[in-house]
């Protein structure tokens, strides 16, 4: 079973009459020990999809997914307490400017 399973993840902003689809039904899996990079043009939804997986999209954003699972935890129905335990300790995001986000004296895993 995959460490991260994302199935038909969508993130919309705005109202139902005129939603802006920042992410539209993306799916992928990441296996234990696998290294994955998410690349794309500016504004293509890379950061929004990662923030959605970590549960960091606030109103007016709406996150929908058929399946969103990390290490056997259903991220769609997880408690806020459990989400806080995961984010930072097991799930993290390196933001777009790695020169200011990372210290070159330490490994990425350590940071």
- Model confidence, pTM: 0.80
Q: What is the pLDDT of residue 46?
A: 92
Q: Does domain 4-101 have CATH number 3.30.365.10?
A: no
Residue 11 in contact with residue 63, Cβ under 8 Å?
yes
Q: What is the pLDDT of residue 69?
A: 94
Q: Which residues contact 24 (CB under 8 A, 6 or more apart)?
A: 10, 45
Length of the chain: 111
Q: What is the pLDDT of residue 98?
A: 61
57: tokens are 């999209």
pLDDT along the chain (111 residues), means of 10: 93 88 95 88 91 91 94 90 84 72 75 71
Residue 34: closest CA among 70, 4, 69, 7 = 4
């Amino acid at each position: 079973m995959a460490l991260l399973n994302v199935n038909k993840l969508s993130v919309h902003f705005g109202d139902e009459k005129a939603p802006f689809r920042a992410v539209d039904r993306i799916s992928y899996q990441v296996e234990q020990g696998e290294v994955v990079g998410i690349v794309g043009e500016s504004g293509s939804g890379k950061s929004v999809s990662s923030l959605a997986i970590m549960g960091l999209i606030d109103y007016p954003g709406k996150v929908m997914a058929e399946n969103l699972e990390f290490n056997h935890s259903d991220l769609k129905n997880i408690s806020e307490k459990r989400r806080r335990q995961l984010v930072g300790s097991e799930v993290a995001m390196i933001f777009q400017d790695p020169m200011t986000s990372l210290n070159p004296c330490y490994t990425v895993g350590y940071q």
